[in-house]
């Protein structure tokens, strides 16, 4: 791989697509990869029990289609058809080469060099499972949310999305614990402020699903009273991922769920805190926040 050429991310109005080199490094996230593969395996078993062939759409494959390659070898050509979407032309070129080198040309694999945030699903060939792992911790910078928004609005409710649910919380980190010793139990979730799932983004009673291209996410306010801040020294954004059913990636188990520091808590703080949050899709998607300090009387 030309590592210099492959290091360049591609910037869009709704987030960035990782450079090929960085996408390839995702192979190093062993727990993340394991949990995704386990979740995908559960989804495939569930769907193939009811029909064959099933259709899997994989949006943002990177150069190796890491999350789905094991299943191509495991299932027969007749059981599953695949659509691979990749926007980065360098990654796409490498992906085609991988398919060729592995002798997979006879499998039902459609390779499409396209933007998954704008991709139009063929209504006569809807996917049964849609996979996309195009995210960083706190759902910052990359296109996970706009990709899922675009695809969720086009398919039936019974389509399985992997990951099934991504939650963001405002949380606190315990004080006086060295970074190298910190564990998930040293973080405390205060309030869920954003969720990516079919149920949260497109409830079953949403009649505007087909036209929901412009979405403004709900603003949330988290209030943490002064007495609850004792023993904590940082405000953080916590990410939790439900890949599918019981397969999850918990706090700090992966780079995807490393808590994102947003503010130190002074030792002598006498105030309570409110954190106003709203997820924004822009050229740099993120959970925007505003922290305000309050006297006890202001929150009475």
Q: List the chain domain ranges.
A: 3-299
pLDDT at 180: 86
pTM, 2 dp: 0.91
The alpha carbon of 53 is separated from its chain's Cα centroid by a whole number of angstroms, namely 27
The alpha carbon of 245 is separated from its chain's Cα centroid by a whole number of angstroms, namely 16
94 φ/ψ angles, rounded to the nearest 5 degrees: -65, -40
Report the chain's mean pLDDT, rounded to a whole number.
90
Nearest to 139 by CA among 6, 14, 38: 14
DSSP annotation string for 278-292: EEE-SSS-EEEEEEE
Q: Find out whether 196 and 144 touch, Cβ atoms under 8 Å.
A: yes
Q: CA–CA separation, 4 vs 19, rounded Å?
A: 10
Q: Which CATH architecture has domain 3-299?
A: 3-Layer(aba) Sandwich (3.40)
The alpha carbon of 120 is separated from its chain's Cα centroid by a whole number of angstroms, namely 20
- For 2-46, write each residue's pLDDT tens digit: 555 555 666 767 765 655 544 445 555 789 999 999 999 999 999
pLDDT at 175: 95
More confident residue, 214 or 265: 265
Nearest to 152 by CA among 142, 141, 163: 163
- Please tell me whether the peptide bond between 163 and the residue prior to it is cis, using omega within 30 degrees of 0: yes
DSSP letter for 18, please: P
- For 116-141, write each residue's pLDDT tens digit: 999 999 999 999 999 999 999 999 99
Which run of H or of E encompasses 36? helix 30-48
Q: Which residue's entry shows tokens 């926040």? A: 289
Nearest to 255 by CA among 79, 41, 35: 35
pLDDT at 27: 52
Structure-token pair, residue 115: 């933007």
- For 190-210, write each residue's pLDDT tens digit: 999 999 999 999 887 554 554
- Taking residue 78's Cβ as centre, other Cβ atoms within 10 Å add up to 9
Nearest to 128 by CA among 47, 242, 36, 243: 47
Q: Which residue's entry shows tokens 């992966």? A: 254
pLDDT at 299: 67
More confident residue, 284 or 30: 284
Q: CA–CA separation, 287 vs 141, rounded Å?
A: 10
CA-based end-to-end distance of the chain: 61
DSSP letter for 142, please: B
pLDDT at 172: 98
């Amino acid at each position: 791989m030309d590592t210099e050429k492959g290091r360049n991310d591609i910037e869009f109005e709704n987030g960035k697509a990782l450079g090929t080199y960085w996408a390839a490094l995702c192979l190093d996230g062993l727990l993340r990869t394991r949990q995704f593969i386990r979740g995908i395996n559960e989804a495939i078993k569930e769907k193939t029990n009811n029909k064959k062939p099933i259709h899997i759409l994989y949006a943002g494959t990177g150069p190796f289609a890491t999350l789905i390659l094991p299943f191509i070898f495991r299932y027969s050509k007749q059981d599953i058809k695949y659509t691979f979407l990749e926007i980065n032309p360098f990654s796409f070129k490498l992906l085609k080469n991988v398919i060729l080198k592995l002798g997979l040309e006879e499998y039902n694999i459609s390779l499409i060099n396209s933007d998954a945030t704008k991709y139009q699903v063929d209504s006569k060939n809807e996917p049964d499972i849609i996979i996309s792992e195009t995210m960083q911790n706190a759902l910052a910078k990359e296109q996970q949310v706009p990709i899922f928004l675009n695809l969720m609005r086009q398919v039936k409710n019974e389509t399985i999305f992997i990951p099934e649910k991504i939650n963001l919380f405002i949380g606190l980190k315990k004080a006086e614990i060295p970074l190298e010793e910190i564990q998930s139990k040293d973080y405390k979730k205060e309030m869920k402020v954003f969720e990516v799932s079919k149920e949260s983004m497109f409830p079953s009673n949403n009649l505007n699903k087909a036209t929901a291209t412009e979405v403004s996410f709900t603003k949330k306010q988290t209030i943490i009273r002064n007495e609850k801040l004792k023993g904590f020294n940082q405000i953080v954004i916590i990410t939790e991922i439900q890949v599918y059913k019981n397969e999850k990636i918990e706090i700090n188990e992966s780079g995807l769920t490393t808590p994102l520091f947003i503010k130190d808590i002074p030792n002598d703080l006498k105030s309570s805190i409110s954190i106003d949050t709203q997820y924004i899709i822009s050229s740099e998607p993120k959970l925007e926040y505003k922290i305000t300090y309050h006297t006890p009387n202001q929150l009475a």
